[in-house]
Amino acid sequence: MAEIDFFQPDLDDAKRLAVRGRSVRKTSCSFKPPGTGKTTFITELILQTLERQPNARILLTHRLT
């Protein structure tokens, strides 16, 4: 697996692993309770995608419950 230079140096190991795993997929979904770092994870995932594909189109939605 190729080495990734993370934009957020304080990203925890679980999120780094998830970014590595999801960086090859076309879709991603994250359901977690408040305060678990979803925004941090999503931000890193978007930044990694745009680093590799500057013209990528990203749709970010929020599901209201």
Give the pLDDT of residue 61. 82
Nearest to 13 by CA among 51, 32, 31, 40: 40
In this structure, are residues 15 and 9 in contact, taking their beta carbons and an 8 Å threshold? no
Return the domain boundaries, the chain: 1-65
pLDDT of 35 > 70? The answer is: yes
Q: How confident is the model at residue 25 (pLDDT cuts 50, 70, 90)?
A: low
Give the pLDDT of residue 32. 73
More confident site: 61 or 27: 61
Nearest to 16 by CA among 31, 29, 26, 3: 3
Give this prediction's pTM.
0.74
